[in-house]
A and B are shown apart, each in its own frame.
Chain A
Amino acid sequence: MSATPTHSAPTHPTPFGEAELRGTTEKLWEAVSRGDEYAAYGVVLGAQGAGADDESLLLDVIGTVQRKVGEEWAANRMSVATEHMATAVNDRVIAALAARHAPAAAKDLPEHDTGQDRPGRITVACVDGEWHALPARLLAEVLRLRGWHVDYLGAQVPTPHLIGHVRRTGPDVVALSSSLATRLPAAHAAITACRSVGVPVLVGGAAFGDDGRYAGLLGADAWAPDGRAAAELLAGSPLKPPLTGHQSVDDLPHLVDQEYTMVRRDSGRLVKAALAGLEDRFPAMRSYTGLQRQHTAEDLGHILDFLAAALYMDCEQIFTRFLIWTAGILTVRGVPAASLTPTLDVLGTELKEFPRAGRLINHAREALNDSTLPTPRSGSGVLR
């Protein structure tokens, strides 16, 4: 559901052509990266007045700008705070765009909506712990434009809330968004919960892999690479309510070794042990300031989060890609990325009883040694 636009031929030809859309995107990026809400309104509402259709504005203009925000942040060219500001501006632009439809939408939605002539009712939400709500919001607005009855629950929806909502409203399908691989266990819980009450789940977002490979592992009924694909998929044949009686433990049989559970539970202790071990192996650390030490602790926490996610999915790539990305960020920050190898050594020693964790760590260590430092890409990280 990341609102990645397809740069191929637009599916809805408008007098407002691709060149104009690109121009609008550039102007919006200008405004959004300055945090200039009013200029941003002007750009988008101006394009709408000039004949741009709303779906293109949402997916090709706002979606592209938001993707760029994510890229800038992932490449450490934008702070988390600035990213929030840019996102907040984008969010309000969407709200302004949506407000123009409000009267029509209200007319379509009588008190007792029979739902007979609408495509259906859908709940759009981000999984617990997921703060990147904009892709989900864009999908919600696009589906609203296409006539769906949309319940948009926003960022970080705890699974009990999601299920309570699904039980109350009985949607035809739930769309779940997640951008970070570390949220995959939470996504699994949400997918399982929705399917156990008989509602099919469509998932999207970078967390599920470029090709959606994790979506199937977690039992999702469908996956879409971007907002437009998700809307098209939903417009096709309706997703079948899942067969119940499915046991979610069958999805990921490797979890039986409890390595995920232990690493998750011992995360704090492992960070402490790694800090102590690093000071031994990496003398430069002894002269770290309190703040530097805190940053290191946070980085270690993220490394363990991704290790846990990789253990959960039993997938080396999740851990290795994160470390390679981290190496890139550390270099940008002026921290020697060489410190990552001793970090992995220390973690490997701490987790020597855990064969799967050991394999993941070895794989990542080899990849780090092989890679000439990469250009940071894809929003797979959490570091500042």
Chain B
Amino acid sequence: MKRSALRLAPYPVLVADTHGVVRFLNDTASALLPHARPGADVTRAVPGWLASAHQNLSAVPVGSPTGPGSAEPEPSVSPAVRGEIGERSFEAHPTCEVTGEVVWWLVDDTDHLLAREALRMERERTAFLGDASNALLSSLNLARCTAMTARLAAGHLADAALVIEPPVGRGLVMVSCTRDGEPVRRQVGVGPDLVPGLPEALQGFPPVPARWIDPAAAPAWIVPEGFGTVGSIVVTPLPGHGVSAGALVLLRGAGQAPFTENEEVFARLFAARAGAALSAARLYEEQSSITETLMRELLPPVLHDVSGVEFAGAYRPAADSERVGGDFYDVHPAPADSEGQESLVILGDVCGKGLEAAVLTGKIRNTLHALLPMADDHQRVLSLLNGALLNSHHTRFATLVLASAVRHAGSVRLRLTSAGHPAPLIVRGDGQVEEVGTHGTLVGALPEAPAVTVEATLAPGESCVLFSDGITEARGGPLGDDQYGDDRLRSALSECAGMPAAAVVEHIQMLASQWVRGGRHDDMAVVAITAPRNNHLSAVGGRGPGRFTA
């Protein structure tokens, strides 16, 4: 190539021959390589990486025919090499002339590399922020979310991280985590004042920037156990939704570079996400603990055996996301020391579903609890309840069954009263299912609530089953739209002779749930009152139902 063309090339150009001698360089190259001049040795003229690239290239015989078809040797291009000249980075592209000389074209790619590096870092950070958001938002559990914040910060922003919770009372609670370590929860009995910038960071408002603190001035508790010497510390607030979600302390070891301004900005982006997640988790925790407290009174009770009578109950609310609804049951056990006293069982159904209905069930259950001393007269209990409901601001009404049960010489005596509710069914020892002939008016709708009380006796192994219409009116089945209905319930119960109360309840509940096949259904409640099978007689043997008769 003509030297004149090379002289005017917009890039530094250097020509060297097979003996490693510089033959030519243009002005730009001279400015870049002060030791290079024509006639100089390549090893002295250019940095080592370029000199050895040249030597490697010259060792290969050049100018040889490049292909069988070409008679004349032609110039060829070899792969570029990269290295630094001074403080900048260059790509050196060699062109091999037929004479054996190599023309080195030097391209400054410093800015390109810097841009690539910046892009890589930016991508990494964006990916990290995305992952961090996913991880932080996935957990509404405060402890887990705090641990996650510490773990992410320690893994990506620093060598160790400390999440300090907003102070409640005296002392500070924090979760610390070292890189690749497990988050550890700690508590110190001091206030935040000893750490410069921490009180402001924990205040939440006005917003404060991240703050550097002198590792020498930091209290010992800020350094996680086994961390070693601290090089630098930054305190960043964790901004919640209008309140402080705590503070994030980032630590780097003595050997590490301190935080750059860029890294600090990035830490703030992370802190914003972590703060929002922590704030949401705290709010959820507060709300769910309130719900839990209020709900406790509304949840159906766990039933136990009382004075030789088995009780079992099961409840399934209409919506899977709810735990309470318009059906309710209770067993008020007879006092432990009173022989021959009745336990009172209640199962009822408030018109409506969900929480609103559940609140009314709570009122009815409380009212009935207060009326317990009158439980020997079911009609009186129902009349008083009816009056109480009519006088309340609720416009809802309810149906219910009252059952008083007491063990008497091996069997169980029952008094049953239905107030507009499906009549209880009794499963006899031979599998016959009888409907109890009690009937009456629902409560909370009319001035009077007359009802008929019926007495019944359960022999050992026999059960009386109270249920809500959510069972019999459950729609589904293999065809998709059939009602479960009384007949199916009766035929299912006929197989329950001699079964413990818990098994009867589970059996019915399962069949009804399977019937709806995951579709929509009303609240479903079942309670079984069972006279236990007499173990002495069953040990004697015999398979028929007769063996259980006392």
Residues on A facing B (Cβ under 8 Å): 34-39, 79-82, 84-85, 87-89, 91-92, 128-129, 131, 155-156, 158-161, 164, 166-170, 196-198, 244-245, 267-269, 271-272, 297-298, 300-301
Contacts and interface: CB of A to CB of B under 8 A. Distances in A.
B11 to A, nearest CB: 46
21 contacts: A35-B498, A35-B499, A36-B535, A36-B538, A84-B506, A85-B498, A131-B513, A161-B320, A164-B288, A167-B284, A168-B141, A170-B139, A197-B140, A198-B135, A198-B144, A244-B131, A267-B478, A267-B480, A271-B479, A298-B478, A300-B478
Interface string B137-152: 0111101100010000
B13 interface: no
A85 B535 contact: no
Given A168-B292, A272-B479, A244 B134 contact: yes
Contacts of B513: 129, 131, 156
Chain B contact residues: over half helix, strand or loop, or mixed? helix
A198 B138 contact: yes
A125 B506 CA distance: 16
A39 B503 contact: no
Contacts of A164: 288
B268 interface: no
Contact of A297 (B477, B499, B507, B539): B477
A159 B320 contact: yes
Given A88-B506, A170-B143, A272-B479, A37 B138 contact: no
Nearest to B478: A301
A170 B183 CA distance: 15
Contact of B138 (A38, A158, A196, A271): A196
User: What 6 A-B pairs come out closest when comparing CB atoms?
Assistant: A268-B480, A301-B478, A88-B503, A81-B495, A158-B320, A38-B535
A35 to B, nearest CB: 6
Contact of A39 (B479, B507, B539): B539
A161 B320 CA distance: 7
A167 B480 contact: no
B99 to A, nearest CB: 60
Nearest to B491: A291
A181 B480 CA distance: 21
B499 A244 contact: no
Contacts of A170: 139, 141, 143-144
Contacts of A87: 503, 506
Contacts of A85: 498-500, 503
A161 B517 CA distance: 18
B415 interface: no
Interface string B514-550: 1001100000000000001101001100000000000
A180 to B, nearest CB: 11
B499 A84 contact: yes
Contacts of A79: 495
Contacts of B284: 167
B320 A167 contact: no
Contacts of A84: 499, 503, 506-507, 510
A196 B140 CA distance: 11
Nearest to A79: B495
A34 B539 CA distance: 10
Contacts of B499: 35, 81, 84-85, 88
Contacts of A37: 500, 532-533, 535
A92 B514 CA distance: 24
Interface string B483-504: 0000000001001101110110
A168 B144 CA distance: 10
B323 interface: yes
A158 B315 CA distance: 13
B321 interface: yes
B210 to A, nearest CB: 27
Nearest to B317: A158
Contacts of A82: 495
A297 B321 contact: no
